[in-house]
């Protein structure tokens, strides 16, 4: 049986599938050519990440397909219910990349509060001629310890963010549409662990109290953070979106930065991927990454082996 990993899969995933008798194809097929490729090669399993779209027309046109797998959490690029109603298995790996996304959030946070995203741009240009000037410009950093981290969406990734925040010494507050409280278990290197009980609060209360807000929600039909929500946030606070493009009003964010209401902002996802708005790319106040939240070697290994395990259980 042939599996097409159209957006790639780790070698560990390939090895696990091959060991179970599957043929794994890692050719990247253009979206408009996908239907023909699947049918010509009698592909039974299609694995995607965020780039490839699996809509109703593709599902209807490819009778050999028995399974669609998403390497990651969100499945907004797949018509999930339609596929399942047609008898296909639809799987994902919701827990595999949580720690990687959470660490990227803090990579952005530490970089922003010490102006690393700006310093790394300007030091190569002016470091020799304007060292003292740059030192003065970037000398007003702040510490994360003691600050309040507000987490919007308290699922697996949100809870991983909370663990790091607690370890850093931050106060953690959270809001979630489907959860009233959660117990966070923070493990330590010596085998000990401490539980923290966190009761969720309203989004408005969170925005008013937080020094930094991070988004960890699925794709939405409307903005979770727009002009109104940004206005509620503390003056001089920070915002990170490593969830999904479209949950944050990017134009309103740029305006809030230019008006100096929001001091720090980081984006790993964008409304118009893979061509983000130029005003975002050129704004020196933004810390930017190209949707790499799950792109660590460890996460990709976990994703690959987890997909392989599910596929083997479902199709063998």
Active site residue 250: no
Give the whole-angstrom CA distance, residue 36 versus residue 41: 8
172 close to 147: Cβ distance less than 8 angstroms: no
Give the whole-angstrom CA distance, residue 187 versus residue 75: 30
User: What is the CA 299 to chain-centroid distance, rounded?
Assistant: 12
Catalytic residue among 117, 156, 216, 244: 244
Active site residue 291: yes
Active site residue 244: yes
3-state helix, strand, coil in the chain (%, to 5): 40, 20, 40
Q: Which helix (H) or strand (E) holds 185?
A: strand 181-187
Give the whole-angstrom CA distance, residue 299 versus residue 310: 16
Catalytic residue among 229, 291, 302, 306: 291
Count CB neighbours of 54 within 10 A: 26
Count CB neighbours of 71 within 10 A: 27
Give the pairing of strands 67-70 and 23-25: unpaired
Catalytic residue among 103, 122, 273, 277: 273
* Nearest 10 degrees: Cα torsion 206, 209, 211, 214: 0
- Just list the catalytic residues: 244, 273, 291
């Amino acid at each position: 049986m042939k599996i097409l990993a159209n957006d790639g899969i780790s070698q560990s995933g390939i090895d696990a599938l091959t060991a179970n008798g599957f043929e794994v194809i890692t050719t990247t097929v253009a979206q408009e050519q996908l239907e023909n490729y699947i049918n010509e090669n009698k592909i039974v399993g299609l694995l995607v990440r965020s780039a490839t779209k699996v809509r109703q027309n593709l599902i209807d046109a490819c009778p050999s397909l028995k399974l669609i797998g998403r390497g990651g959490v969100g499945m907004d690029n797949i018509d999930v219910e339609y596929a399942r109603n047609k008898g296909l298995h639809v799987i994902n790996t919701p827990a595999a990349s949580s720690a990687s996304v959470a660490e990227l959030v803090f990579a952005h946070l530490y970089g922003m509060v010490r102006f690393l995203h700006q310093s790394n741009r300007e030091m190569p240009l002016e470091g020799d001629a304007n060292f003292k000037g740059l030192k003065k410009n970037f000398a007003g950093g702040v510490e994360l310890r003691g600050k309040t981290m507000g987490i919007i969406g308290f699922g697996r990734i949100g809870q991983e963010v909370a663990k790091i925040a607690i370890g850093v010494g931050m106060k953690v507050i959270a809001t979630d549409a489907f959860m009233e409280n959660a117990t966070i278990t923070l493990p330590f290197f010596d085998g000990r662990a401490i539980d923290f009980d966190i009761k969720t609060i309203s989004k408005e209360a969170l925005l008013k109290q937080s020094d930094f807000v991070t988004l960890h929600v699925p794709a939405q039909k409307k903005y979770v953070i727009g002009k109104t929500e940004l206005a509620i946030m503390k003056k001089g606070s920070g915002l990170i979106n490593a969830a999904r493009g479209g949950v944050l009003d990017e134009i309103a964010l740029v305006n809030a930065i230019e008006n100096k209401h929001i001091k720090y902002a980081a984006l790993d996802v964008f409304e118009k991927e893979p061509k983000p708005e130029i005003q975002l790319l050129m704004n020196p106040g933004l810390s930017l990454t190209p949707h790499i939240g799950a792109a660590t070697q460890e996460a990709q290994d976990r994703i690959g082996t987890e997909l392989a395990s599910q596929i083997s259980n479902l199709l063998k």
